[in-house]
Amino acid sequence: MNIDLHCHTNVSDGVLTPNQLIDLAIDRGVDVLSITDHDTLGAYSIIDAVPPHLQLIPGIEFSSQWRKQGVHIVGLKVDLSNESIIKAVTQQTEARKRRAQIIAEKLKGLGFDNCLEGAQAFAGSHIGRPHFAQYLVQIGAVKNINQAFKKYLGAGKVGDIKDEWADLKTVVGWIHQAGGVAVLAHPKKYNLTRTKLVDLISDFCEAGGGAMEVISGLQIPSVTRDLAGLCNKFNLLASCGSDFHAPDKQWAALGMVSQLPDDCIPVWEHWS
């Protein structure tokens, strides 16, 4: 089975439209797919058709706040019509707009004007830090998107605004109310110390989290083994995904996700 439970479309910060993503998933031989756009379910209302041999799992990736640290929680198998999840998306959308205004003000303080309008031109209705990064590249403030994050938008930088997000427990609650499974996304990408990573997973479990991503995109086997060990230690189900955003990013290629270790219990066994 080719399973990819974490990817993005241009409804949030991806490049492909939802229909283009479905076509790529078919080309890559994906059997089970979840589109997990940031704080929005909008992709699901745009998809024209899904072939019978592709199982599409309704999903979302929520931004959240944990001990002043931004973390992402994926919701899988959520009810798209659930009132709680619809309200949650509305709340996060408003938070995202406020956050964008703050980021623009911070960047203006550094001498970069019209950042909100510039980022909006790349984003459409759903604005995020990658869109500010694209604008900074466009005006020549940085050479590329990676440099934009390293200098202005990444963790601890002036554009790293987390205070607008709901806390971890609230986000897990939204997912549960919509009948879904809460998954801690890409645990190794938060650059936490070992102690803090264990604390995060512990707090996630205490909040009712049910799974964690043991595999996120292309990663070395030792990372996979380590995350599998933590997953089993905390009795969590295991998930996997590419975190796909664009076709040119080979480290996050859609449908090119390694198999979970044999000692993990896959999250899809929970709903099958």
**pLDDT tens digits for range 5-17:** 999 999 999 999 9
Which amino acid is residue 11, in one-letter code? V
In a domain? residue 161? no
111 assigned to some structural domain: no
For the chain, give the percent of residues with pLDDT over 70: 99
Average pLDDT for 93-114 = 93
pLDDT tens column, 209-249: 999 999 999 999 999 999 999 999 999 999 999 999 999 99
Residue 124 — pLDDT band, cuts 50, 70, 90?
low
Does pLDDT of 96 surpass 90? no
Determine the average pLDDT of the residues in 165-185: 97
Percent pLDDT > 90 in the chain is 88
Residue 142 belongs to a domain = no
Rounded Cα distance between 254 and 139, Å, is: 31
Query: Is the pLDDT assigned to residue 272 strictly greater than 80?
Result: no
- Label residue 156 by pLDDT band (50, 70, 90): confident
Domain span at residue 211? 3-82+181-271
Nearest Cα residue to 25 out of 242, 217, 261, 267: 242
Sign of the four-CA dihedral 195, 197, 200, 204: negative
Alpha carbon 254 to its chain's center: 14
Report if residue 192 sits inside a domain.
Answer: yes
**Is residue 234 situated within a structural domain?**
yes
Q: Is the pLDDT of residue 162 over 90?
A: no
Pair of tokens at residue 122? 């790349």
Token code pair at residue 46 = 């745009």
pLDDT of the residue at 237: 98
211 is a domain residue? yes
| Per-residue confidence (pLDDT) for residue 163, from 0 to 100 | 75
Q: What is the pLDDT of residue 271?
A: 79
Other Cβ atoms closer than 10 A to 250: 9
Give me the pLDDT at residue 141, please. 95
Q: Is the pLDDT of residue 71 over 90?
A: yes
pTM of the full predicted structure?
Answer: 0.90
Number of domains in the chain: 1
Do the domain assignments include residue 152? no
Task: Write the pLDDT tens digit of every residue in 126-146.
Answer: 888 999 999 999 999 999 999
What pLDDT score does 153 carry? 95
CATH assignment at residue 185:
3.20.20.140
pLDDT of residue 34: 98
